[in-house]
Structure 1
Amino acid sequence: MKKNNSPFGIGGNKSTVSRREFLSKSFKATMATGIAMSGFPTILPASVFGKNAPSNRINIAAIGAGRISRGHDMPGVWQYDYAQLMAVCDLDSLRAEDGKKLINDYYTKRDGKPFDGVKAYTDYRELLQSKDIDAVLISTPDHTHAIIGVAAARAGKHIYMQKPASLTIKEGRIISDVVQKSGVKFQIGSQQRSSEQFRYAAELVRNGRIGELKTVYVGLPGDPSGGKKEEMPIPKNLNYDMWLAGTPEVYYTEERVHPQVGYGRPGWLRCEQFGAGMITGWGAHHIDSAHWGMGMERSGPVEVWCDKVDFATGGLWDVHGIFTTAAVYANGVKMIVSNEFQNGIKFEGTGGWIFVSRGDYQATSSDPTKPGPQAKKLDASNPKILQSVIGIKEFHFEISKEHHGNWLEAIRDNKSPIAPVEEAHRACSACLVHHIAMKLKRKLYWDPKKEEFKNDDEANKMLSRPQRNGYQVK
């Protein structure tokens, strides 16, 4: 990320007129002409031209109405008065209607009068055809991120997408290329970039407060084994074929998908068919934050290997359990990733160490956390390190106080969001390289420029997966 000393963040290209600016200016010009010709008084309500006028609002649709959407993403945008949630989509029609009610009820309570302006969809492709929608929240299972994200970018919709960016490295490259070509504002849900302690820790490391960086330790949560395998009838309210998307056709069982009652943590998170487990689930957060401190936001490791790994067997869930992987980057820094470390990131240099974590913060109430005291938000080998002031002429990241708000500001002000698509892809691809090392259990040599393994056909075959007809990411 570019050096930026402005307390207001990265400035955008102001020569480009946004849709809202164009509509607002056109509307005002039209109204002014019409009024002048008609001879009517030029007194209009402030709501017509105010900052929250319809022409200035960002109209948003939520694609995915489950746990993370209801508890994190929809509340993340509806708190801003210049954003309007106007539609919701879910392949489970009960969840779609429940999401519609949630949004309508929120606006009813906020405004003190009945509101029923939200439309429910069960097919995101139909939703993306709406010209009234400016932007979308993509809060769906990991295996559908790329196909929906690519479709949204091609439809010209700005995108806030839950991490990880993709199921495979090839998919990740496609979505990054398509989004950058489209020009839409894309924000990955790596909200640690909008957390003060993660930004400050990375700035301290980048500005040499622990000397020369040598090793980064990344601690992740774990996932339980288990899951019931018995086949069940597909609920009438669920489009299961579309839910499977490009992955292989397999029979339905509730713990492979999401709960039919309530919004607890869904079982698909623990099935390799739909994701890679915690290496991408939380690894996409922590490895992204580690890349910040390392100065590797748009790169990746050059060597990676697995010291130990245990994959769940016997039940439905089959993602990795206890594991330790390691990688070396081109700058010589070593990264060790394990779910036996304390949840967080430890930067270790020649002059000390810094540890950073979320502390007791949870994105949703069902986030996996260990019982007992939570890790400190910020710690160091010497307290003086954490008292350091980053000088005006030193390296600074953009300041983002809230992740959804930063995305909305990027749309409104035509600037870059704090977690753009290429850096989202690079964090995800690093995680997936670790996952491939877990599967092959040997040292791999990765070329982050070409995004392929060196002289390793077996590993390179794992950069993509076969996709069912009708659901290919192209």
Structure 2
Amino acid sequence: MSKKISRRSFIKTTSKASAATVVLSGIPSIVPASVFGKNAPSNRINIAAIGTGRISRVYDMPQVWRHDDTQIVAVCDVDAHRSIDAKVLVEKYYSEKLSKPFNGVSSYTDYRELLLNKDIDAVIISTPDHWHAKMGVDAVRAGKDIFMQKPASLTIKGGRFLSDEVRKTDRIFQIGSQQRSSPQFRYAAELVRNGRIGELKKVYVGLPGDPSGDVEIETPVPPNLNYDMWLGATPEVFYTEKRVHPQVGYGRPGWLRCEQFGAGMITGWGSHHIDSAHWAMNTELTGPIEIWGSAEFPKSGLWNVHGIFTTYAKYANGVEMVVSNELPNGVKFEGTEGWIFVTRGDYRVTASDPVADENGVKPLDASDTKIITSAIGANEIHLPVSENHHRNWIDSLKSRKQPIAPVEEAHRSCSACLLHHMAMKLNRKLYWNPDTEQFKNDDEANSMLSRQQREKYAVKY
């Protein structure tokens, strides 16, 4: 936002949700250095969490508050109950850590008001996908660094705008592609890049699936939820709890299965696995040139993201990628001299993550065990090492050096996912120019690079 915009014009009226049910902004209390150890307040990074649902509570905030050189000073959610819950959660953690009462967390229901707080250095964005690009652009323009849950955007045009704005403002941005901080994914990428399976020919990406849902009826909007703002730039549609998130508890939210707010597992998990594939393929800053495939979509019901699908992509280097939810969950690299398969094993972020469990799948496997027991020589390709994704981001905030999953790489992996989604929708071969980020001689496909937006919350390209 322009610095000339007044506070009154910057902050719009939200809804009944931000009435007396929640204390909005306040000045965060900064805890004295003596109670946090050697990290002086002037050196500690003040962080705010925007979107305080399931992934924020169980993963993003705990992965940040555990470090003494950071402090979560503010939380924000358009659901006032969730904003207050987050405040209580964070203050409880710090109270237990300090062995004394702590009440230094401000609570917001409008992220734009939070961004005006000059005490906040960086934000964690853990909102639904349709808010990522808009919120990210507003945050970097307000001078905040960002950790953002994947995917980078709901549209390719939105992702391009986000990447350009982050780099223009010289902010630090880390996407939540935490597989880059998993040793088996890094090692697999190094093995592929160093020719352990010969010349790479094919990449197989296996993703989880999503079920369709029932028809839902309109219900009253809870008074604690600013539903208009939750919808953001997407079209107005009636409220039903299964479209948004649970009003009791923090189970898997329904918006993940609605195309209005996300693209389904092709971006939900595809952003992880295709990013890992790009890392090994050395195509992190480009994308495919041809994409085709098909998918089944629900014919009725509220949840309408893709079901069973298989899509294909060809890259300029000749490598072909196959993406399907009928393949094992993970990434398989097939070369002229063998193959490597990598997956998460039993590691999960949330309780609902589909992991290997006890089905015998190894986190790292190969056609020959010698492939995955070989050492990467001193003069071979070594990829950046990160042992913890959030810690890597925090270190980047201090050094001002790029983190392991920066914004352009985030945009490119998200773009590839969205290209596969477009191929599902159009059910024909698409020809993509990754340099211009346009389809060749295809007005219909190019019209899908952005979506119609409600002016009130639109991303201004």
Tell me if TM exceeds 0.5. Answer: yes
- CA distance 1:164–1:84, change in 2 (3 Å): same
1:438 is aligned, of 424, 431, 440, to: 424
Cα deviation, 1:413-467, whole Å, max 9, x if unaligned, reads 2211000000000000000001000000000000000001000000000000000
Q: Trace 1:105-184 onto structure 2 (pairs within 5 A).
A: 105-184=92-171
Structure 1 residue 265 displacement after superposition: 0.3
1:321 lines up with 2:307 in the alignment: yes
SS in 1 for 2:365: strand
Cα deviation, 1:106-154, whole Å, max 9, x if unaligned, reads 0111111111110100000000000000000000000000111000010
Measure the CA separation in 2 of the matches of 1:303 and 1:181.
30
Measure the CA separation in 2 of the matches of 1:252 and 1:371.
36
Q: Trace 1:315-464 onto structure 2 (pairs within 5 A).
A: 315-369=301-355, 373=359, 375-464=361-450
Question: Of the two, which has the highest radius of gyration?
Answer: 1
Aligned-residue sequence identity (percent) comes to 69
Q: List gaps (5 residues or longer) in structure 2.
A: 1-31
Contact 1:58 1:84 in 2 (8 A): yes
Structure 1 residue 194 displacement after superposition: 0.3
Structure 1 residue 375 displacement after superposition: 2.7
Contact 1:360 1:374 in 2 (8 A): no
2:281 is aligned, of 286, 294, 301, to: 294
1:244 is aligned, of 231, 236, 239, to: 231
Measure the CA separation in 2 of the matches of 1:210 and 1:85.
45
Measure the CA separation in 2 of the matches of 1:46 and 1:91.
32
Cα deviation, 1:83-104, whole Å, max 9, x if unaligned, reads 0000000000000000000000
Measure the CA separation in 2 of the matches of 1:405 and 1:426.
23
Matched residue, 1:103 = 90
SS in 1 for 2:313: strand
Contact 2:292 2:312 in 1 (8 A): yes
Measure the CA separation in 2 of the matches of 1:152 and 1:339.
35
1:253 lines up with 2:240 in the alignment: yes
Q: TM-score, normalised by structure 1?
A: 0.89
* Superposition CA RMSD, Å: 1.4
Measure the CA separation in 2 of the matches of 1:374 and 1:118.
44
Count of matched residue positions in the alignment of Structure 1 and Structure 2: 429
Measure the CA separation in 2 of the matches of 1:435 and 1:51.
49
- CA distance 1:264–1:50, change in 2 (3 Å): closer
Cα deviation, 1:45-97, whole Å, max 9, x if unaligned, reads 98499741000000000000100000110011011110000000000000000
Matched residue, 1:39 = none
1:215 lines up with 2:229 in the alignment: no
Measure the CA separation in 2 of the matches of 1:392 and 1:428.
32
Contact 2:37 2:68 in 1 (8 A): no
Cα deviation, 1:342-383, whole Å, max 9, x if unaligned, reads 000000000000000001111111224588626310000000
The ranges of structure 1 where at least 4 consecutive aligned residues each deviate by more than 6 angstroms after the TM superposition are: none
1:71 lines up with 2:55 in the alignment: no
SS in 2 for 1:273: coil
Structure 1 residue 403 displacement after superposition: 0.2
Q: TM-score, normalised by structure 2?
A: 0.91
Matched residue, 2:42 = 55
Measure the CA separation in 2 of the matches of 1:413 and 1:66.
30
SS in 2 for 1:131: coil
Matched residue, 2:260 = 273
SS in 1 for 2:417: helix
SS in 2 for 1:60: strand
Measure the CA separation in 1 of the matches of 2:225 and 2:323.
37
Structure 1 residue 227 displacement after superposition: 3.9
Structure 1 residue 312 displacement after superposition: 1.6
SS in 1 for 2:75: strand
